[in-house]
């Protein structure tokens, strides 16, 4: 790949915040230190005094005939669409085919207001509209955005709490660098709600006055809401079209603190590692960085930890670097923060001006950097870092530079092998019970749960604060590491990354937290449950209890989550960002989740012969660079060769009945694996008993892989494990390859969300060349 195709340009941006409904209004307010944190007016808050926040007081209607995707309108989606349109205005018509345009959305709370409406209706004995359930998950928001812009490339959602927006930008840049897309709309969104305010109030994290980041006078954070988007484009396309780029996304880094559900590591070492990774990815050093747009929440622990992180990452160069926090003017936008702050950093590079940290500043000896208090400063630097830190110890840093400063270093793509695995299904732990289940007939229509014992890996006190999603994920990850010959808590584990995939996420904790708040008001908010309501808390618990501190992320792509987690992990290893990554895919069921599926008419039973039979499951797979695995004489179970993703972009939110999106995903995966359709032996279908989807997939396979020897549909017998499906099918495919002489043949593994996002993996046996 040439330097030009490795470079990723930012050609346009969009934002809506409490400073206004455009990116230029955001930039003007940030540059001029205009504080837009005021009493919240649109929420009914029963307590005095009322909360303050960076509230968006007017949401403009999104332009375009496809701007209304759902009958039910969630505030988060309403906030996203105007800024999406603003960013997309920078893409000339016809420059990028719809099939080469992707979307990566980062969010912390996703459609939490829809979840609130759903659960409140159930609590009152009412019948919630099925459309409400369709707008709850992160992937639902990503797919709605994709429909409005007709994006038919990869459509993915990231949920790493307050690091989501930054993580989304980095992942989007990877998609372009690796040839999976030519342009990607990357950003984040989160909306204010009484639920979130109640949660942070219960944690005693909110300040009575606008936040004062890095100041000795700081007394807590201010919440905010809004959306920010960057349109990323392959550099050769941008330059060839004569577009005036705003900046380059030069690199990004991820890490896990493995420390605490809400607090950062006091020494800042996790965030420092993310910054180092971002600079290495960009091919830059500390002396190249002139400005840091800091996470700067205004809380006692976070600001000190970030200061130490910057000192550790930049060394002596930190004495001259300038740092500021955008949260002082718009509040903390949670999952959207990293995206909105990247917009500010991009415009700072464009205008050669570093925005200040607003508000009254009182020097703090523990925060001893140059925080640009009160006034903007002219700047002729070339590179900046935008930092994000989230619940569960998720850290992300993005390096932005002036256009064309430097191409990221070229990496020889390394083969990625499977060295450890674990599976927990309703049939029990391990492959043997799963194979027996797969060999049976159609499962019972009632849901099946997973029994597991967390005691070997989690002490009883910690277990009481964890939900089943987190506890099962910890057990699964630890078991897989042990089968890989890596002891949890060892130095080898500490250098290991972690990607978690989950479809419905922490539904149990959301229900447990919301129930008392809806019934009794915000004073009933439980501070021990609130941190578990973010999708990435399971990853945080895995990292903490297993001792993983490498690159970490959580993806939530509906029923394709596990497949995307495997693909993302393989990319991180292949690009040299990690030698080893544990992939965990887990979903657990609740009555409300089952009710949501039932009301959408996709569950088997209740006079329906066809439909999904939902089950719980957890799969963990250890991926490793082949050279590293060979060096330690690890057992190899197979290889992940490549992956591809595509979206149907249908306004109905359903599958293309011809299966064209699935066909593109399979062909993209084969290209990524440098193989051809005639090399495919078996296909492991996403099919799970939903006729419209299953028939579309079989039509796609018939066109794309006519020489495939056999198509397997084990989920028809096993049940539908939601986001775990792709990972579970990969284990079955690898087991099958190990039992039969496959020669040079590979297997294709398919996964699809209910909203038309398709992901295919190419896997090979241990001896396949």
> φ and ψ at 2, to 5 degrees?
-75, 165
Retrieve residue 566's tokens.
């495997």
> Cβ–Cβ contacts within 10 Å for residue 461, how many?
7
The CA distances from residue 699 to 685, 696, 746, in Å, are: 12, 5, 20
* Marked catalytic residue, from 72, 108, 129, 162: 162
Burial class from Cβ neighbours inside 10 Å (0-12, 13-18, 19+) for residue 691 reads exposed
Q: What is the CA radius of gyration of the chain?
A: 24
Kindly give, in sequence order, each residue whose CB lies less than 8 Å from that of residue 756, ignoring residues fewer than 6 positions away: 143, 647, 648, 649, 650, 653, 654, 655, 656, 661
DSSP class of residue 522 equals: G
The CA distances from residue 626 to 415, 614, 696, 704, in Å, are: 6, 35, 36, 29
Closest Cα to residue 267, out of 259, 279, 277, 255?
A: 259
Tell me the sheet residues that pair with 157. Answer: 105
C-alpha 451/C-alpha 443 separation (Å) is 18
> Residues 636, 638, 642, 643: is their CA dihedral positive or negative?
negative
Burial class from Cβ neighbours inside 10 Å (0-12, 13-18, 19+) for residue 483 reads middle
C-alpha 569/C-alpha 551 separation (Å) is 9
Retrieve residue 416's tokens.
């990625």
Note whether 696 and 669 are within 8 A (CB).
no
For residue 608, say if its preceding peptide bond is cis, omega within 30 degrees of 0.
no
C-alpha 711/C-alpha 316 separation (Å) is 59
Note whether 547 and 434 are within 8 A (CB).
no
Has 162 been annotated as catalytic?
yes
Has 129 been annotated as catalytic?
no
C-alpha 107/C-alpha 193 separation (Å) is 14
Closest Cα to residue 79, out of 46, 54, 44?
A: 54
C-alpha 237/C-alpha 680 separation (Å) is 33
Has 712 been annotated as catalytic?
no
C-alpha 565/C-alpha 730 separation (Å) is 12
C-alpha 738/C-alpha 638 separation (Å) is 8
C-alpha 469/C-alpha 375 separation (Å) is 46
* Marked catalytic residue, from 72, 332, 545, 647: 332
Retrieve residue 716's tokens.
């028809």
Q: How far is CA 228 from the centre of its chain?
A: 15
Q: How far is CA 512 from the centre of its chain?
A: 23
Burial class from Cβ neighbours inside 10 Å (0-12, 13-18, 19+) for residue 519 reads exposed
* Marked catalytic residue, from 72, 108, 295, 545: 295
Kindly give, in sequence order, each residue whose CB lies less than 8 Å from that of residue 452, ignoring residues fewer than 6 positions away: 424, 429, 471, 472, 475, 618
Helix axes 507-520, 591-599, angle to 10 degrees: 100
Residues assigned a catalytic role: 162, 295, 332
């Amino acid at each position: 790949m040439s330097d030009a195709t490795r470079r990723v340009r930012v050609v346009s941006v969009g934002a809506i915040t409490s400073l206004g409904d455009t990116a230029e209004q955001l930039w003007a307010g940030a540059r001029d230190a205009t504080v837009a944190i005021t009493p919240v007016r649109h929420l009914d808050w029963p307590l005095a005094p009322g909360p303050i926040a960076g509230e968006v007081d007017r949401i403009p209607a999104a332009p375009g005939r496809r701007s209304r995707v759902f009958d039910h309108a969630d505030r988060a989606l309403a906030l996203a669409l105007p800024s999406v349109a603003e960013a997309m205005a920078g893409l000339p018509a016809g420059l990028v085919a719809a099939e080469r345009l992707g979307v990566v959305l980062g969010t912390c709370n996703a459609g939490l207001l829809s979840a609130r409406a759903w659960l409140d209706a159930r609590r009152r004995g009412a019948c919630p509209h099925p459309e409400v359930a369709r707008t709850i998950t992160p992937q639902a928001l990503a797919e709605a955005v994709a429909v409005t812009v007709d994006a038919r490339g990869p459509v993915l959602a990231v949920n790493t709490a307050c690091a989501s927006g930054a993580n989304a930008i980095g992942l989007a840049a990877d998609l372009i660098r690796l040839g999976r897309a030519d342009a990607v709309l990357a950003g984040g969104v989160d909306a204010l709600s009484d639920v979130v305010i109640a949660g942070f109030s219960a944690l005693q994290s909110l300040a009575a006055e606008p936040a004062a980041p890095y100041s000795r006078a700081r007394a807590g954070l201010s919440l905010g809401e809004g959306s920010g988007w960057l349109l990323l484009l392959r550099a050769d396309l941008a330059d060839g079209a004569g577009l005036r780029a705003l900046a380059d996304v030069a690199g990004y880094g991820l890490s896990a603190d493995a420390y605490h559900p809400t607090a950062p590591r006091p020494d800042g070492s996790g965030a420092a590692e993310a910054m180092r990774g971002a600079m290495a990815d960009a091919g830059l050093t500390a002396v190249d960085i002139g400005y840091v747009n800091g996470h700067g929440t205004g809380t006692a622990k976070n600001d000190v930890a970030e200061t130490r992180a910057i000192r550790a990452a930049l060394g002596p160069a930190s004495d001259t670097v300038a740092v500021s926090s955008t949260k002082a003017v718009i509040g903390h936008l949670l999952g959207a923060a990293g995206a909105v702050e990247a917009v500010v950093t991009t415009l700072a590079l464009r205008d050669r001006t570093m925005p200040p940290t607003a508000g009254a500043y009182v020097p703090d000896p523990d925060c001893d950097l140059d925080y640009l208090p009160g006034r903007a400063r002219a700047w002729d630097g070339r590179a900046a870092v935008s930092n994000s830190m989230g619940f569960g110890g998720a850290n992300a840093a993005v390096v932005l530079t002036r256009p064309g400063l430097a191409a990221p270093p070229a990496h020889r793509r390394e083969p990625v092998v499977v060295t450890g695995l674990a599976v927990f299904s309703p049939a029990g732990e391990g492959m043997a019970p799963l194979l027996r289940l797969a060999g049976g007939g159609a499962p019972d229509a009632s849901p099946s749960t997973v029994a597991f014992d967390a005691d070997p890996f989690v002490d009883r006190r910690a277990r009481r604060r964890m939900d089943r999603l987190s506890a099962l994920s910890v057990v699964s990850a630890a078991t897989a590491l042990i089968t890989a010959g890596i002891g949890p808590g060892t130095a080898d584990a500490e250098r290991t990354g972690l990607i978690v995939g989950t479809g419905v996420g922490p539904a149990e904790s959301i229900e447990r937290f919301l129930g008392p708040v809806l019934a009794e008001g915000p004073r009933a908010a439980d501070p021990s449950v609130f941190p578990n309501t973010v999708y990435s808390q399971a990853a945080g618990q895995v990292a903490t209890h297993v001792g993983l501190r490498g690159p970490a992320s959580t993806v939530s792509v509906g029923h394709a989550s596990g497949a995307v987690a495997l693909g993302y992990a393989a990319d991180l290893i292949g690009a040299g960002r990690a030698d080893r990554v544990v992939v965990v895919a887990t979903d657990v069921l609740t009555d409300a989740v089952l009710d949501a599926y039932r009301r959408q008419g996709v569950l088997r039973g209740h006079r329906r012969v066809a439909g999904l039979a939902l089950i719980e499951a957890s799969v963990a797979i250890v991926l490793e660079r082949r050279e590293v695995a060979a060096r330690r004489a690890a057992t190899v179970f197979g290889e992940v060769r490549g992956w591809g993703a595509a979206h149907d972009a249908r306004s109905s939110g359903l599958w293309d009945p011809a299966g064209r999106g699935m066909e593109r995903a399979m062909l993209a995966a084969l290209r990524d694996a440098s193989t051809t359709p005639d090399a495919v032996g078996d296909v492991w279908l996403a099919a799970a008993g939903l006729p419209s989807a299953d028939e579309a997939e079989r039509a796609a396979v018939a066109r794309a892989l006519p020489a495939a020897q056999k198509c397997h549909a084990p989920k028809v017998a096993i049940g539908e494990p939601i986001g775990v499906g792709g990972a579970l099918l990969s284990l079955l495919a690898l087991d099958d390859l190990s039992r039969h002489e496959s020669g040079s043949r590979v297997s294709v593994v398919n996964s699809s969300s209910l909203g038309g996002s398709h992901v295919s993996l190419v896997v090979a046996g241990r001896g396949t060349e």
